[in-house]
Amino acid sequence: MTADENSGSLLKPGRLRTETAVELIELNKWYGDFHVLRDINLKVRGGERIVICGPSGSGKSTMIRCINRLEEHQGGQIFVDGVEVTADLKKIDEIRREVGMVFQHFNLFPHLTVLENCTLAPIWVRKMPKSEAEEVALHYLTRVKIPEQANKYPGQLSGGQQQRVAIARALCMNPKIMLFDEPTSALDPEMVKEVLETMVALAHDGMTMLVVTHEMGFARQVANRIVFMDEGQIVEANVPEEFFAHPQHERTKLFLSQILR
């Protein structure tokens, strides 16, 4: 990807090559003897927004971390935009360039300014000149509504601001798919809204998103599908209206009764 290709498509997410953004086929993973992911099958089309929920320990975070190879799977296959995720380092690099991730604890680089956080990867991975990278960074910082914080350090920002910077940082690489690992779980309640609003705006721009979260309001608003996981397997999946109104499986009903008030 050269710099030119990037500057033209600043406003829209990168274009997918195939129709299927992410495909998990019979995905299995073990931590030692513990079977953490069991026979996962999932197909995510381009532009879809999938919300993944479930009790803690159900393997939801592990599943999406397998997609960009932060975790290794031992059984089954994972395809990202047609490219299989294996131990091949070149393929892994390729995939990680096109998949962005937002973490529960933000993981901003504390020794760099907000702007530097955002320009780091474009400069060192996409080999962009500094001025262009900064332009892109400021654009996305404006999108997440905190351009004035560009020269501050992460330690000086609130939790909600830090998470928005994390989103902007991931967006600066112009990813085709965004993964969210419980993005609001570590935030104080009054800051959850600003981050969710950012994610809703992202969804409306057509970004393919896989979001692990407990925020059912967000799911209702934006998700195409809700996937419920428990004990390492997908238990139920449906469109939000049906999922909340008519849960089928016993465990889904139990879970919903616990989290919806």
Partner 1 sequence: MSMAEGDLAVAEMAFVRRATIAPRRPPAAMTGPIAWLRANLLSTPFNIALTVLIMLLLAWAIPEILRFLVIDAVWSGNDRDACLWTVQHREIGACWPFVWERLPYFIYGSYPIPQRWRVDVFFLMLAVGVVWLLWLKAPRRDLGAIYFFIVLPVVSYILLTGWSAIGLEPVDTVLWGGVLVTIVVASVGIVFSLPLGIILALGRRSRMPVVRTLSVIFIEFVRGVPLITVLFMAGVMLPLFVPEQYSPDKLVRALVGIAIFASAYMAEVVRAGLQAIPRGQYEGAMAVGLGYAQMMRLVVLPQALTVTIPNIVNTYIGLFKDTTLVFIVGIFDLLRTIEVARIDPKWATPVTSTTGYAVAAIFYVVFCYGMSRYARAMEMRLAKGGRR
Partner 2 sequence: MPSDLPAQPRPARVVFYNDPKVRSIAYQLVLCTVVALLVYGAARNAIDNLARAQIASGFGFWNQTAGFDISQTLIEYSSRGSTYGRAFWVGLLNTLLVAGLGIVFATIIGFIVGISRLSSNWLLAKAAGGYVEIIRNLPLLLQLLFWYNAVLKALPDLRESIVIPGGLILNNRGFFLPLPVLKGGVGFFELSLLVGVGGAIAFYVWARKRQERTGQRPPVLAVTLLLVIGLPLAVFAIVGRPIGFEFPQAGRFNIAGGIEVLPEFVALLFGLSIYTAAFIAEVVRAGILAVSRGQSEAAYSLGLRPGPTQRLIVVPQAMRVIIPPLTSQYLNLTKNSSLAVAIGYPDLVQVFTGTVLNQTGQAVEVVAITMLVYLVISLVTSLLMNLYNRRMALVDR
Q: Which residues bind partner 1 (CB under 8 A)?
A: 26, 28, 30, 32-35, 38-43, 45, 74-75, 225, 231-239, 242, 248-249
- Quick check: 73 binds partner 2 (CB under 8 A)? no
120 binds, among partner 1, partner 2, none (CB under 5 to 8 A by kind): partner 2
131 binds, among partner 2, partner 1, none (CB under 5 to 8 A by kind): partner 2
Q: How far apart are CA 136 and CA 134, in angstroms?
A: 5
Q: How far is CA 198 from CA 13, 70, 176, in A?
A: 15, 25, 17
Residue closer to partner 1 by CB (options 10, 25) is 25
Site string for partner 2, 206-235 (x = CB under 8 A): ------------------------------
- Nearest-approach distance from CB 38 to partner 2, in angstroms: 24
- Nearest-approach distance from CB 8 to partner 1, in angstroms: 31
235 binds, among partner 2, partner 1, none (CB under 5 to 8 A by kind): partner 1
Angle at CA of residue 39, ends 251 and 231, nearest 5°: 35
237 binds, among partner 2, partner 1, none (CB under 5 to 8 A by kind): partner 1
Alpha helices per DSSP H over 172-249:
189-204, 216-222, 240-245
DSSP-derived 3-state class of residue 120: helix
Buried b (16+ CB within 10 A) or exposed e, 42-55: bebbbbbbbbbbbe
- Nearest-approach distance from CB 32 to partner 1, in angstroms: 7
- Nearest-approach distance from CB 30 to partner 1, in angstroms: 4
Q: How far is CA 71 from CA 3, 6, 89, 175, 213, in A?
A: 30, 29, 14, 19, 19
250: left (phi over 0), alpha (psi -120 to 50) or beta: alpha
Q: Which of 44, 78, 101, 212 binds partner 2 (CB under 8 A)?
A: 101
- Quick check: 68 binds partner 2 (CB under 8 A)? yes
Burial class (CB within 10 angstroms; exposed 0-12, middle 13-18, buried 19+) of 141: buried
Strands (E) in the chain, as ranges, are 20-31, 34-45, 49-53, 75-80, 83-84, 99-102, 177-181, 208-212, 225-230, 233-238
- Quick check: 138 binds partner 2 (CB under 8 A)? no
- Nearest-approach distance from CB 75 to partner 1, in angstroms: 7
Interface residues with partner 2 (CB under 8 A) are: 3, 68, 70, 93, 96-97, 99-101, 103, 105, 107-111, 120-121, 123-133, 152-153, 155-157, 166, 169-170, 173
